[in-house]
Amino acid sequence: MQKLEVFGANRLKGYVKISGSKNASLPILAATLLSNKKVILKNLPKVRDIETMLTLLKSLGSKVRVNKNQTIIDNIKQKKKFASYNLVKTMRAGILVLGPLLAKYGSAKVSLPGGCAIGTRPVDIHLKALSKLGVNYKIDQGYVIAKAPKGLRGNKIHFSKISVGATENLIIAASLAKGTTILSNCAIEPEIKDLINFLNKMGSKIIWISKRKIKIIGATEIKDISYSVMFDRIEAGTYLVAAAITEGNLKVQNVIPEIIKTEINILKKLGSKITIKKNEVQIIGNKKIKSMKIKTAPYPGFPTDLQAQIMVLLCKANKSSIIQENIFENRFMHVAELNRMGAAILIKGNKAIVEGKIDFAPAELMATDLRASVSLILAALTAKGKSVINRIYHLDRGYEDIEKKLKKIGAKIRRIN
């Protein structure tokens, strides 16, 4: 089992290039199943979840070739409709192959997904919405067995709650449905807009009617496509927080600052000095960090995927802060480990009361999920001495070359077996 050794405390300086978005790449990869033509994807991040999704596509019959900085997917011989537990168990996004398989073949058998243990995250929203497109389904021995006897047909669908995954699955499925589909109460994350851009370039007709309402006219022709995936805004936010917490001076490159406006504004309020250029954000950390109340919310609110990272920064604030987690009910699992490093964080329901003026002490630590893993690295970067982080396979699911990137900007970190 691999571990990370982190030696604090150095200021992070220089520049870091942000990779392609994991959360945009996964639904786009699932959507390639709609095509019988060649699809070329650029800027896919080299992380384990992407490798798993590519393996899943291969198991369904897709021919996948990675050539330098592009991935070529050919579905001419793609005929299979079974997504096994062994492939779907490690990542939530596996369920996203359900929509395209139903749209293309009218039936599919897909394992219920796994991923990080940060909450229940049920797929019932996906299934209820798909049923309105003409899908009959049952769940048997951990698998969704679904059929659309007359094919998928457009309909009006209102999501009972905002769900990124359900919005993505339905957009993909409706892209090949007969007629017109109207989706309302949709998630509006930038990754969803990237998916829509990809599908429209491939031949779909998807337009935004209003802020959370989408109109989808089923495609009649699928085209060859070459597409470059957007940047990873969670990776960008993580490095911005890393610079803030180490009083660093860092240029975060290959980003669209407008997309991470909420995160930038919060870091400014906390005391960091930020300069914005076209595709770059420069951040200079401040020794004096202000306290704050932060609530996670669907985009354009503060992302739940940055909650653990910002919590580490708030431990350094001038007084206590509050974080309210409104997306997942089990996303404070990093708190116990941070408290072992000297933090004073109290959980009350979906709120974390974070005491300020904390000096983290080095410790041996256990990562519980993807974003928790990186929060422990951030805390360790400020602790004087050596910290060891175990179970870093979570980290490799979502951060490309994290120790190489951190080393380049001045961190003392190494991977050991």
Residue with tokens 């290039």: 17
DSSP string covering 43-72: ----SHHHHHHHHHHHHTT-EEEEETTEEE
Beta bridge partners, 15, equal 251
8-state DSSP, 32: G
What does DSSP assign to residue 338? H
Question: Is 140 exposed, middle or buried (CB count within 10 Å of its CB: 0-12, 13-18, 19+)?
Answer: exposed
Secondary structure element (H or E) that encloses residue 131, with its range: helix 124-131
Q: Cα separations (Å) of 313 from 180, 233, 321, 402, 406?
A: 47, 18, 10, 19, 17
Among all residues, which ones are annotated catalytic? 116
Cα dihedral: 374, 377, 379, 380 (round 10): 170
The answer to whether the beta carbons of residues 49 and 30 sit under 8 Å apart is no
